[in-house]
Amino acid sequence: MASTLPLPSFNLEGVTNTALVAGVLNTLYLNKNEYRGDTAVVFCAGVWAATVGGGIYNGFDTKSSISLASIGLAVYLGTMIALAVAYRLSPLHPLHKYPGPFVNKITSLVMLKMVSTGKRFEIIKGWHAKYGKFVRTGPNTLSIASVEAVHPIYAERSAFDKSNAYRPGRAPVGGLFFSTKKDIHNLRRKAWAGAFSAKSIVGLIEVVEKRTDQMIQVMDRNRQKDGSIDMSEIIRFWAYDLMAEMTFGPTSDVELMAKGDPTDVSEGAQNATVVFEVLGEAPSLFDIAWNLPAAKEFHILEDTATKLMDIRKNTTGDDIASYLLGEKGGERLGDEDLNIDSAFAIAAGSDTTGGTLTILLFYLLRDRTVYNKLREELDAHYSSPEEIVDGKVLQELPYLYGTVWEGLRLGTPFGGLPRVVPQGGAMIDGDFIPEDIIVSVPPYTQQTDEAHFRPRPMEFLPERWSPNGLGPDTHTDMKAMLCFSYGAFSCLGRIFALQELHLTVAKLMLQYDMDIPKDYDQQKFLDGILNMRTTLFAHPLKITATPRR
């Protein structure tokens, strides 16, 4: 092969040997050290350009120098890829004994592609059914379908840090959600905690009441000629308006229910969440993507939040911003952190609740027995939506409580909650897992497993949450519910979200006779649920809703 190249063989040999050695050394280095994707691209481009320059300097023509540099780069990258593949498949790899799809053991790009389908939740569940409790989902990642794994990974004091899947490309590190180290994250969480105290929640729930009343008006206004209403969009707009007001108080002018979404704030934010979720499987690619013109998309919500925060800074109020700005005591966050955290507040509370509510409504409306039982329970306590004055009391209504938890069980938007095994490794459900391995417990697999929820784990049956359950063989294991996660990084809005869902479902039920249109394709709706830390609905939910009085 060398004789066909227009290069003196000693140079070709020199370059290939150097590239080979560099490839071996770099593989050894990268096995223990992190690298940034964009830096790697710049490094390779720099070495390639320097080799071209060196060739020209040594008297070769440009074409020969480019060939020489390209061959060198190919040998360098080829060596690294070959060594990585050999190591990942060899018995020397710490995850060698764990089963999983063959190609997943070689490259994390398979997971990236799989996550981008929006069906990670179902695919992972299928893998656990095929391979068992521990599944090797990537070269260095394990999915562990086990209630025993939840404590060591998420809940204990020694629980693990978040993985690089949370590293937001090249964004300045910071922000509650994106702080991967527990100690740094703890400090930031303190700034937030007051916003969700029992006292603050009372004020926040008033916003839910007001916005849900507005949603009812919008539903009436947006009823189509055939009587149907597109609930996916209305719920998305409701959730964004609500969270923006909770975050910025009355200074928020995110009014999607009133004005629509001409600048695609809600879609842009959802797309950004999807990109974060997908590229989180290959953080080095995220570094590269961050520098591309398309990265504008990531910032639509942040730009909106920055503008609103600039206005909000000039006033005071009882909103989430008041805690981040240090108005209620505590330290004020720096400007960059304020912008990131306020954008995150809107995304964290809107897509999650909106997606869950949409899926909950679908299941509730399609089963008339479930629907009628809930209606009976609510009618026995209230004669109109206006009579509901305390969202907390609603959680004492057993059927409503079961309805909300079934919605959370089947509608959870988080596919995985990846964490890194700390130095020295850790015992997880009887297995010693070495340090630096990325582990996660898959929420949907756990929440729909017959071992934890029986009978009929795939069915929406609110009774399973009541004391008598679905009969003597009922098993409902709250510990298997990962929808809000556990421990240091768990959902701060959990108590609020539960009240919000109870209140909204109760108000809609008391306001309307609701149903799913006869010709609505229910299977298409289910097939179109795409979960990527946010829930996209490829086939929007349509319902009918006639005022009851």
Dist CA 57 CA 47 (whole Å) = 15
**Amino acid identity for residue 90 in this structure:** S
| Residue 192 CB, nearest approach to ligand HEM (Å) | 6
Contact between 497 and ligand HEM per CB under 6 A: yes
Judged on CB neighbours under 10 Å (0-12, 13-18, 19+), 519 is exposed
Contact between 401 and ligand HEM per CB under 6 A: no
| Residue 408 CB, nearest approach to ligand HEM (Å) | 6
Convert 428-450 to b/e letters by CB count within 10 Å (16 or more is b). bbeeebeebbbbbbbbbbbbbbe
Instruction: State which of positions 192-221 bind ligand HEM (CB under 6 A).
Output: 192
Look at residues 115, 114, 128 and name the one whose alpha carbon lies nearest to residue 450. Answer: 128
Query: 52 or 112: whose CB is closer to ligand HEM?
Result: 112
Query: 68 or 417: whose CB is closer to ligand HEM?
Result: 417
**Residues 36, 38, 39, CA angle at the centre, nearest 5°?**
65
Contact between 503 and ligand HEM per CB under 6 A: no
Dist CA 384 CA 372 (whole Å) = 16
The one segment of 74-82, 95-103, 135-143, 481-489 that binds ligand HEM by CB under 6 A: 481-489
Which residues are CB-neighbours of 531 under 8 A, at least 6 positions away? 118, 119, 120, 121, 355, 412, 413, 414, 415, 444
E-assigned strand segments in 104-169: 134-138, 141-144, 161-162
Contact between 489 and ligand HEM per CB under 6 A: yes
SS3 348: helix
Look at residues 526, 489, 533, 502 and name the one whose alpha carbon lies nearest to residue 405. Answer: 502
Instruction: State which of positions 32-51 bind ligand HEM (CB under 6 A).
Output: none
Which residues are CB-neighbours of 69 under 8 A, at least 6 positions away? 15, 48, 49, 51, 52, 55
Dist CA 531 CA 60 (whole Å) = 55
Dist CA 226 CA 61 (whole Å) = 73
Query: 349 or 462: whose CB is closer to ligand HEM?
Result: 349
**Cis (ω within 30 of 0) for the bond into 455?**
yes
Contact between 491 and ligand HEM per CB under 6 A: yes
Helix axes 335-366, 231-248, angle to 10 degrees: 150
Q: Give the x-and-dash track for 409-438 against ligand HEM (CB under 6 A).
A: ---x-x--x---------------------
Q: Please tell me the count of residues contacting ligand HEM according to CB under 6 A.
A: 22
The one segment of 255-263, 272-280, 450-458, 490-498 that binds ligand HEM by CB under 6 A: 490-498
Contact between 360 and ligand HEM per CB under 6 A: no
Token representation of residue 175: 């922000």
Contact between 532 and ligand HEM per CB under 6 A: no
Q: Give the x-and-dash track for 435-474 against ligand HEM (CB under 6 A).
A: ----------------------------------------
Which residues are CB-neighbours of 92 under 8 A, at least 6 positions away? none
Per CB under 6 A, the list member of 93, 189, 366, 548 interacting with ligand HEM is 189
Query: 12 or 347: whose CB is closer to ligand HEM?
Result: 347
Contact between 177 and ligand HEM per CB under 6 A: yes
Contact between 121 and ligand HEM per CB under 6 A: no
Query: 55 or 415: whose CB is closer to ligand HEM?
Result: 415
Contact between 248 and ligand HEM per CB under 6 A: no
Per CB under 6 A, the list member of 404, 483, 506, 530 interacting with ligand HEM is 483
- Residue 491 is assigned to a ligand binding site: yes
Name the closest residue to ligand HEM (Cβ). 493
Question: Which residues fall in the annotated binding site for heme?
Answer: 491
Binding site for ligand HEM (CB under 6 A): 176-177, 189, 192, 348-349, 352-353, 356, 412, 414, 417, 483-485, 489-493, 496-497
